[in-house]
Amino acid sequence: MDFARSDKAQDYHQRLTDFMVEHVFPAEHSYDQYRLEAGRDDHTVPPVVEELKKLARDRGLWNLFLPSESGLTNLEYSPLAELSGWSMELAPEALNCAAPDTGNMETLHLFATPEQSKQWLEPLLNGEIRSAFAMTEPAVASSDARNIETTMLRDGGDYVINGRKWWTSGANDPRCKILIVMGRTNPDAASHQQQSMILVPMDTPGVTVVRSLPVFGWQDQHGHAEVVFDNVRVPVSNLLGEEGGGFAIAQARLGPGRIHHCMRAIGVAERALALMVDRVNTRIAFGKPLAEQGVVQQQVALSRNEIDQARLLCEKAAWTIDKHGNKEARNQVAMIKAVAPQMACNVLDRAIQVHGAAGISDDFPLARLYGWHRAMRLFDGPDEVHMRTIARAELGKEKSALAAAVTS
- Find the Cα–Cα–Cα–Cα dihedral 7, 9, 11, 14, rounded to 10°: -130
- Say if residue 127's pLDDT is above 80: yes
pLDDT of residue 151: 97
- Say if residue 2's pLDDT is above 90: no
pLDDT of residue 1: 86
Output the average pLDDT for the chain.
96
> Where in the chain are the domains?
7-98, 131-244, 247-396
CA dihedral sign of residues 59, 63, 68, 69: negative
- Average the pLDDT over 380-400 and give the result: 95
7-98 in CATH: which number? 1.10.540.10
247-396 in CATH: which number? 1.20.140.10
- Model pLDDT for residues 308-358, shown as the tens digit of each residue: 999 999 999 999 999 999 889 999 999 999 999 999 999 999 999 999 999
- Say if residue 183's pLDDT is above 80: yes
Q: Report whether the peptide linkage leading into residue 100 is cis, meaning its omega lies within 30 degrees of zero.
A: yes
- Model pLDDT for residues 18-53, shown as the tens digit of each residue: 999 999 999 999 999 999 999 999 999 999 999 999
In percent, how much of the chain has pLDDT > 90? 92
- Average the pLDDT over 99-105 and give the result: 95
pLDDT of residue 299: 98
> How many Å apart are CA 103 and CA 357, to the nearest integer?
37
- Say if residue 59's pLDDT is above 80: yes
CATH class of the region 131-244: mainly beta
Q: Note the pTM of the prediction, 2 decimals.
A: 0.95
- Model pLDDT for residues 185-206, shown as the tens digit of each residue: 999 899 889 999 999 999 999 9
